Amino acid sequence: MIWNAFLLAFRELPRNLLRSFLTSLGIIIGVASVITMVTLGNGATEKIKEQIASLGTNLLQLRAGQDIRGPGGVRMEAKSFDMADVEAIAREIPGIEAVAPIAGETVQAIYGNRNWSTSVTGSTNGFIEARDWPLAKGRRFSEGETKAGSAVCILGSTVAEELFGGEDPLDKTIRFTKLSLKVIGVFVSKGESSFGTDRDDFILMPLRTFHRRIAGNNDITRAYISILDGFSIDQEKKDIERLMRQRRRIRPGQDDDFYIRDMREITTVLSGTTSVLTSLLGAVAAVSLLVGGIGIMNIMLVAVTERTREIGTRLAIGALAREVLLQFLVEALVLSSLGGIVGIVLAIGVSAWLTKLLLVPFVLNPGIIAVAFFFSAVIGIFFGYFPARNAARLDPIEALRHE
């Protein structure tokens, strides 16, 4: 009987091909948009994970002040670190690859008649190691330059581009308000961060130079610490925390006035955010799937009215009410499932194209395809049932008389 219903449905649908297609269109678009949205969302999540991995998953960030936690999110003012702290970490804790003390300021950099507002970072060669950030040209700071606080700098690629254009910046002198620096190197470009900020827009100079010539103090606001392979990041975090509490004389029971963040946390938070966004996009797209279902119900209701005489004929010939019900139900199911299949094919094409366009990885999730297909079938049955029941309840005599 089920087989018969499929036979009848498959005979019926091609008879009005345009209508069958239009009926399925809602489902096609619904399924395609759900899958496309989720695929793009997954791609974006992947991309963010990749970018964070490019920062180095073995990277810790030590900052003065309290982490934003709890209501209000007030960050307490706390004293900065100093060079002794940084040296202590490198010296006393095993498994540390590099420590990069950071102090920073916003400056107006000038070269010739060009000027560019950027941030200047005072650090050591540890910055290059901890951030795993090679130079495109030029050289690192020499030991003498670091110790003496020489007027040299390494440019981020954006700054090099903005100030020098096509010109070679090496050995040229750039100027801040009251300070001239010789360019000794240029970093390779890392591009935009996942937050959309330009990571190449900065100037690196020796920390000592920064302290003496720009900041006028010896504060270190934060430090990047990279961990050697094979050491537990959690353990290193604990060790650094204990060392810092001791050095900053924090009594037991008292809260830290600094915090250590590792990149895995950021990864979790960010990919959590994009997952939420992906679900949201998927949910919005799911509404169109629902609308597609209502489209099917609409057309099936019209079809039942239009085919009243046909239904009367079928009933007179000896079709059982449940066979008529099943036929219409199967027609709706076939329409929506075919729509689902076409939608899946369309979605794969569109998401492959869009991911290329948006430069995110193409991550096809078979789960969401299965779910979208399953829902298209369920919607067919759900919205097909009411019209089908109407058809099955027709009185054959009335139906035959219907004009």
> CB-wise, 16 or 193, nearer to another protein?
16
- Binding of another protein by 358 (CB under 8 A): no
Residue selected from 93, 126, 314, 368 as contacting another protein according to rule CB under 8 A: 314
Number of residues lying near another protein (CB under 8 A): 24
Residues 6+ apart with CB under 8 A from 107: 117, 118, 119, 120, 176, 177, 203, 214
The CB-of-343 to another protein minimum distance in angstroms stands at 27
Residue selected from 216, 230, 253, 318 as contacting another protein according to rule CB under 8 A: 318
Q: Bridge-partner residues for 102, per DSSP?
A: 222
Say how far apart CA 351 and CA 354 lie, in whole Å: 5
Backbone phi, psi, residue 65, to 5°: 95, 175
- Binding of another protein by 11 (CB under 8 A): yes
- Binding of another protein by 325 (CB under 8 A): no
DSSP state of 70: S
Residue selected from 8, 86, 240, 244 as contacting another protein according to rule CB under 8 A: 8
> CB-wise, 317 or 359, nearer to another protein?
317
Say how far apart CA 48 and CA 60 lie, in whole Å: 18
- Binding of another protein by 378 (CB under 8 A): no
- Binding of another protein by 15 (CB under 8 A): yes
Distances (CA, A) of 201 to 109, 157, 188, 207, 321: 11, 7, 12, 18, 74
SS3 338: helix
- Binding of another protein by 315 (CB under 8 A): yes
Residues 6+ apart with CB under 8 A from 44: 274, 277, 278, 358, 360
Q: Bridge-partner residues for 92, per DSSP?
A: none
The CB-of-299 to another protein minimum distance in angstroms stands at 16
Q: Of 7-15, 49-57, 166-174, 266-274, which part binds another protein (CB under 8 A)?
A: 7-15
SS3 184: strand
Distances (CA, A) of 225 to 86, 101, 228, 246, 275: 9, 9, 10, 18, 29
> CB-wise, 9 or 163, nearer to another protein?
9
Q: Of 8-16, 344-352, 353-361, 363-371, which part binds another protein (CB under 8 A)?
A: 8-16
Backbone phi, psi, residue 106, to 5°: -95, 135
- Binding of another protein by 390 (CB under 8 A): no
Residue selected from 6, 16, 75, 365 as contacting another protein according to rule CB under 8 A: 16
- Binding of another protein by 23 (CB under 8 A): no
- Binding of another protein by 10 (CB under 8 A): no
Q: Of 208-216, 313-321, 334-342, 357-365, which part binds another protein (CB under 8 A)?
A: 313-321
- Binding of another protein by 313 (CB under 8 A): yes
- Binding of another protein by 397 (CB under 8 A): yes
Q: Of 114-122, 174-182, 184-192, 304-312, which part binds another protein (CB under 8 A)?
A: 304-312
Residue selected from 84, 188, 302, 320 as contacting another protein according to rule CB under 8 A: 320
What tokens appear for 365 in the block? 């999730």
| Chain position carrying tokens 């366009």 | 357
Asked if residue 394 lies in contact with residue 345, where contact means CB atoms within 8 angstroms, the answer is no
* Widest CA span in the chain: 106
Say how far apart CA 307 and CA 208 lie, in whole Å: 88
Q: Of 121-129, 210-218, 305-313, 345-353, which part binds another protein (CB under 8 A)?
A: 305-313
- Binding of another protein by 139 (CB under 8 A): no
Which residues are at the interface with another protein (CB under 8 A)? Answer: 1, 4, 7-8, 11, 15-16, 309-310, 312-323, 396-397, 400
